[in-house]
Amino acid sequence: IRFSSDTWLQLRTLATLAENGYRAVAIDLPGLGRSKDAVAPAHVGQPAPGAFLKAVSEALCLGPAVVISPSLSGMYSLPFLFQHNHLLKAYVPVAPICTEKFMAEQYTQIKTPTLIVYGDQDVELGQASLNNLRHIPEHQVLVLQGAGHACYLDKPNEWHRGLLAFLQQLE
Residues acting as catalytic residues: 71, 122, 149
Contacts of 73 (CB under 8 A, 6+ apart): 29, 96
Phi, psi of 93 (to 5 degrees): -80, 135
Q: How far apart are the C-alpha atoms of 126 and 107, rounded to whole Å?
A: 17
Q: How far apart are the C-alpha atoms of 118 and 94, rounded to whole Å?
A: 6
Other Cβ atoms closer than 10 A to 114 = 24
Closest CA to 113 of 163, 161, 72, 74: 163
